[in-house]
Amino acid sequence: MYEINFLKNSMSVLYENMTFPRFQYILENIESEKYFMAFTASHDGEPVGLILAEVRKQDHSAELLSIFVETSHRCQGVATQLVCHLEKQLKVRGCKEIDLSYMTGNQTNLALERVLQKCHWTEPQPQTIVCKGRISDKMPWVTKHNYFHGSYSLFPWREITQEEKQAIEQQRQYIPEDLFPLQYEEDMEPLNSLGLRYQGEVVGWLISHRIAPDTIRYTCSFTRQDLQKFGRHLGLMSEAIKLQYEAKIPYIIWTIPIHHRAMVEFTKKRISPYLIYLREIKESHKLIA
């Protein structure tokens, strides 16, 4: 017999390893948290499962942050009970919708998807692809030169002028919101955050961030649409990769929203052979009002 209960502060230490490290601090004072809810599953007094969600008051929705069931208690309906109990309590709190996102490539994903189906969530849909690779001289971009010539010039992004930033701001309506560079400047990686000028105007960029001593994330990359067909975007990435290779920083990671179809197809066709993995972040949701 499984019991589902609100998590109490005094019991949090018994469940902290059942969620991601970045959420563990929430459990310590969960009873006083206004925007988080956690429920436990126990069997004969022993902890066997945990579900954690965040409530978004501004739009009466919630996000399922994590769900976990001990291996020996899986396939017995525990996760389904946790999800159903969470949904009921969120409805009491006035929430009208709940969603979650997860990355493919995890062996527990199939079980998660079965639970979502049982609880009548929407079919999970890919929203973003996530790529990780190890840079080596086998990558053709490491050794190829002359992507840019004539009226094109590369420059370190840290050298961009205020006038150029103002010009980019004025062109904001023509730049996808998630590719607008100025929002990513904080803590950017100076080694290979680059800009591209054409006839003296900034027309492209790649903004990166160091997320670990051996890993750089390519956070935002863009080339003006009328110049993309000439390989300028590939050139930007090539130059960033070469700089990283020369600095002996081996790993690269980046994400691409699925709606940037051309970049997704390019990555799958041209870059995937050099990747450690190419995964998807999928999303699912359910109306609970």
Candidates 3.40.50.720, 3.40.50.300, 3.40.1360.10, 3.40.630.30; CATH matching 131-282: 3.40.630.30
- pTM for the whole thing? 0.80
User: Residue 123: what pLDDT?
Assistant: 97
For residue range 130-148, list pLDDT tens digits in order.
999 999 877 776 666 666 7
- Residues, the chain: 289
Q: How far apart are CA 180 and CA 168, in angstroms?
A: 9
Q: How far apart are CA 78 and CA 67, in angstroms?
A: 10
Beta strands in the chain (DSSP E): 2-6, 36-43, 46-56, 61-69, 97-103, 125-134, 152-156, 194-198, 201-212, 215-223, 251-257, 275-287
Structure tokens at 273: 């052979």
What would you measure as the largest C-alpha separation in the chain, in angstroms?
74
The answer to whether the beta carbons of residues 94 and 55 sit under 8 Å apart is no
User: Residue 168: what pLDDT?
Assistant: 96
Can you identify the CATH homologous superfamily of domain 2-121? Gcn5-related N-acetyltransferase (GNAT) (3.40.630.30)
- Extract the residue ranges of the chain whose pLDDT is less than 70: 141-147, 228-231
User: Residue 252: what pLDDT?
Assistant: 95
Q: How far apart are CA 92 and CA 80, in angstroms?
A: 19
Domain ranges of the chain: 2-121, 131-282
User: Residue 147: what pLDDT?
Assistant: 67
Examine domains 2-121 and 131-282 and report if their fold is the same: yes
